[in-house]
């Protein structure tokens, strides 16, 4: 996994202000954000949270959703509405008092958490972040530190007999098993999940066997938050201890590791401890590091210190600072390029429905005699030209069926809007044609002008872009928006954006030709046999597709003058080469239609 630097964010519910802060986070080098999804948000800000997630994605951030203070069984300062509306589902202390925290064994509370999770996923988050799942901290509900829970009816039923009155080993094991079972039930609903355990393996709040959590089906990432001040420990050794436990546990169970450090509640003299904590985590091999929270929680007086601005700068530097590209080894750079490229396929997969709809519309135009016209400038133009050039040889199309117009030969032409309109007119684009405009930004003047001219001519207009809400997207009848995020070399759209465009153009031309019958049973039966290798491939494809003896195939190919489609129709339809060619002409080159 590539290094990720993340930050929590909470409190602001005006989407335009959140968007500004998300842009700020990304500009500082953060790659992820954890938004708090409280019960108040669940009740009153459902659609707003969806807007906030979208704003975070537009900034290029990976998004987690935290059940902030949910039921008082997760981390966070938010209050719980559930406990007010469901007092009978709350935990019971060992002294018999019922307290304002939901019981993890309550079926009603588990169902409520599942509803919360479904909503968070609907908002578009990349992962759910189950933050510090635990039985209630007595101090958080005004109880004495020695008290413990829970002895409610749900716990008694699950325990199967009378609950112990002391927090003995059997009761500790039951409490741990209840937490694990609660998490198992939540993860079993699907989605991507991170679980963040408190840095404890003993005591009333610890989970003694971290493997019991790390091995849960459906878990993607396992995390912990060794906030040394809370545990009255020295930062470096404490963080190193739990970073090592985290790494070893994750390695055993094949899940990713994530570690959190605090930036709230710290003063300037404590910055060296913060830096030591980050260094210890890095040295233990943890590459996914996060901090709670944005601007060192300076906006929340209960968590802030007068030094919050200095702490924020320090934690940001510690989490996001890396050696410049030029100072890294070739091996490191190759790994980074590969890691970036590995995300492209997912970005294209995310727009598969839009891409399929565009291809259906394109194929319909070409089937009726129209053309597929690519238009682009710079890298996009060169990619378009490459795809168009390959179609006649691969699919046996006329050189005029798939064409590319543009200015890949000169970067200055990208700004030539006038030329865009002229080029569309020069090739006489009309209502029968499908025009696919390619631009990473979606705002290249040449390409925008060309697609505008194509729309005016009545052509089907498709945009292939890598930026959301672009000009080309607004012009197009169909938009395929592959949001690949920031490039390794800033602004170099020949990298991830270029790879995404190549994948999309591959899909457009290949699937269109399959839809038009230019293949048969997955074979390149339309390939133009221009050399010995391709002549043998054409022969082998006819053998495979027809099942005829090789001698019969050779005879059919000779009569068809080497045209594999003609030979195949000859063999499968039992007609001579002239009749097979006539059938193919009537079927616009589709072998399957010619046979039917």
Residue whose C-alpha is closest to residue 194's, from 142, 127, 141: 127
Is there a contact between 557 and 564 (Cβ–Cβ < 8 Å)? yes
**In the numeric block, which tokens belong to residue 563?**
């045209």
Catalytic residue among 185, 390, 555, 582: 390
Is residue 283 part of the annotated active site? The answer reads no
Q: How far apart are CA 6 and CA 29, in angstroms?
A: 9
Element holding 269 (H helix, E strand): none
Is there a contact between 457 and 486 (Cβ–Cβ < 8 Å)? no
Diameter of the chain measured on Cα atoms: 96
Please confirm whether the linkage preceding 150 is cis (ω < 30° from 0): yes
Bridge partners of 67? none
Q: How far apart are CA 47 and CA 440, in angstroms?
A: 30
SS3 328: coil
Q: How far apart are CA 8 and CA 146, in angstroms?
A: 31
The string of DSSP codes covering 374-387 is: EEEEHHHHHHHHHH
Is residue 414 part of the annotated active site? The answer reads yes
**What are the CA-CA distances from residue 313 to residues 24, 205, 272, 296, 434 (Å)?**
13, 32, 13, 9, 51
SS3 285: coil
Quickly tell me which residue has 């002391």 as its tokens.
Answer: 166
Q: How far apart are CA 321 and CA 29, in angstroms?
A: 8
Q: How far apart are CA 406 and CA 410, in angstroms?
A: 10
DSSP label of 321: -
Catalytic residue among 89, 132, 270, 414: 414
Catalytic residues: 390, 414
């Amino acid at each position: 996994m590539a290094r990720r630097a993340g930050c929590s964010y909470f409190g602001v519910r005006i989407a335009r202000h959140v968007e500004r802060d998300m842009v700020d986070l990304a500009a500082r080098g953060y790659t992820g954000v954890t938004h708090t999804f409280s019960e108040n948000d669940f009740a009153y800000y459902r659609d707003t949270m969806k807007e906030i997630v979208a704003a975070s994605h537009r900034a290029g951030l990976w998004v987690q959703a935290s059940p902030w203070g949910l039921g008082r069984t997760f981390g966070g300062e938010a209050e719980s509405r559930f406990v007010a509306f469901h007092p009978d589902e709350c935990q019971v202390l060992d002294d018999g008092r019922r307290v304002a925290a939901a019981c993890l064994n309550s079926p009603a509370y588990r169902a409520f958490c599942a509803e919360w999770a479904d909503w968070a996923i609907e908002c578009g988050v990349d992962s759910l972040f189950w933050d510090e799942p635990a039985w209630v901290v007595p101090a958080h509900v005004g109880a004495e530190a020695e008290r413990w829970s829970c002895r409610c009816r749900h716990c008694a039923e699950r325990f199967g007999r009378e609950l112990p009155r002391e927090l003995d080993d059997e009761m500790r094991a039951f409490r741990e098993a209840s937490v694990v079972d609660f998490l198992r039930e939540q993860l079993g609903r699907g989605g991507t999940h991170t679980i963040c355990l408190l840095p404890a393996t003993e005591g009333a709040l610890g989970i003694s066997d971290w493997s019991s959590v790390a091995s849960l089906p459906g878990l993607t990432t396992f995390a912990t938050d060794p906030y040394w001040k809370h545990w009255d420990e020295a930062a470096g050794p404490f963080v190193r201890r739990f970073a090592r436990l985290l790494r070893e546990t994750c390695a055993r169970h094949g899940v990713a590791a994530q570690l959190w450090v605090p930036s709230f509640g710290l003063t300037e003299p404590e910055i060296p401890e913060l830096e030591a904590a980050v260094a210890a985590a890095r040295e233990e091999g943890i590459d996914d590091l996060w901090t709670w929270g944005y601007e060192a929680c300076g906006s929340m007086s209960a968590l802030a210190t007068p030094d919050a601005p200095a702490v924020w700068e320090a934690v940001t530097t510690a989490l996001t600072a890396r050696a410049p590209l030029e100072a890294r080894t070739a091996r490191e750079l190759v790994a980074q390029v590969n890691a970036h490229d590995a995300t492209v396929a997912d970005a294209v997969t995310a727009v598969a429905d839009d891409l399929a709809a565009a291809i259906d519309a394109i194929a319909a135009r070409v089937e009726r005699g129209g053309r597929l016209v690519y238009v682009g400038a710079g890298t996009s133009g060169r990619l378009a030209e490459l795809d168009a050039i390959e179609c006649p040889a691969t699919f046996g199309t006329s050189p005029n069926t798939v064409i590319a117009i543009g200015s890949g030969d000169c970067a200055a032409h990208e700004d030539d809007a006038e030329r865009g309109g002229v080029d569309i007119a020069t090739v006489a684009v009309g209502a029968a044609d499908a025009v696919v405009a390619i631009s990473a930004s979606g705002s290249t003047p040449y390409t925008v002008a060309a697609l505008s001219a194509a729309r005016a001519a009545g052509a089907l207009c498709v945009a292939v872009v890598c930026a959301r809400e672009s000009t080309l997207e607004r012009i197009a009848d169909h938009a395929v928006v592959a949001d690949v995020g920031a490039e390794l070399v800033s602004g170099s759209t020949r990298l991830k954006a270029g790879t995404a465009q190549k994948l999309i153009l591959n899909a457009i031309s290949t699937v269109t030709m399959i839809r038009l019958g230019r293949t048969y049973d997955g074979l390149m039966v339309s390939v133009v046999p221009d050399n010995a290798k391709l002549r043998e491939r054409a022969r082998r494809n006819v053998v495979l597709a027809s099942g005829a003896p090789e001698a019969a195939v050779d005879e059919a190919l000779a009569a068809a003058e080497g045209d594999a489609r003609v030979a195949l129709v000859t063999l499968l339809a039992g007609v001579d080469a002239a009749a097979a060619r006539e059938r193919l002409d009537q079927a616009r080159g589709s072998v399957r239609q010619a046979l039917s």
